[in-house]
């Protein structure tokens, strides 16, 4: 399955990610690793600029389907975000 994730856009304090593939059991591990890596990269850049990450925006408008594994992905990302506060 082809997973398309556009290059993230960033505005001070915001990380905007666009995912253009179904979010299901077949790609949820890849998505979690990729999104976590982008968050980590943003936080490292933010530390240099002294502006931390406040909000992650997920543009899911092109996503045609999300299964229960995808829902678990979002729950995990929320937990990671809350633990980083």
Asked if residue 66 belongs to a domain, the reply is yes
- Sign of the torsion angle spanned by Cα atoms 64, 24, 11, 55: positive
Strand 9-11 to strand 55-59: parallel, antiparallel, or no bridges (unpaired)? unpaired
pLDDT recorded at residue 50 = 63
pLDDT recorded at residue 43 = 84
Q: Which domain holds residue 13?
A: 9-83
Q: Name the residue among 39, 40, 30 with its Cα closest to residue 69.
A: 30
Q: Are 57 and 9 in contact (CB under 8 A)?
A: no
pLDDT recorded at residue 68 = 96
pLDDT recorded at residue 26 = 92
Overall domain count for the chain: 1
Per-residue pLDDT of 12-70, as tens digits, reads 788 888 898 899 999 999 999 999 898 888 888 866 676 778 888 899 998 999 999 99
Q: Are 63 and 19 in contact (CB under 8 A)?
A: yes
Asked if residue 32 belongs to a domain, the reply is yes
9: helix, coil or strand? strand
- Specify the DSSP class assigned to residue 24: S
Asked if residue 69 belongs to a domain, the reply is yes
Reply yes or no on whether the pLDDT at 4 is more than 60: no
Asked if residue 72 belongs to a domain, the reply is yes
Asked if residue 1 belongs to a domain, the reply is no
């Amino acid at each position: 399955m082809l997973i398309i994730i556009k290059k993230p856009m960033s505005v001070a304090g915001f990380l905007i990610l666009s995912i253009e593939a179904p979010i299901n059991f077949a790609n949820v591990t890849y998505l979690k690793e990729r999104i976590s890596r982008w968050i980590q990269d943003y936080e490292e850049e933010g530390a240099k600029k002294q502006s931390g990450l406040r909000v992650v925006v997920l543009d899911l408008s092109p996503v045609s389907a999300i299964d229960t594994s995808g829902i678990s992905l979002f729950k995990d990302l929320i937990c990671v975000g809350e633990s980083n506060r």
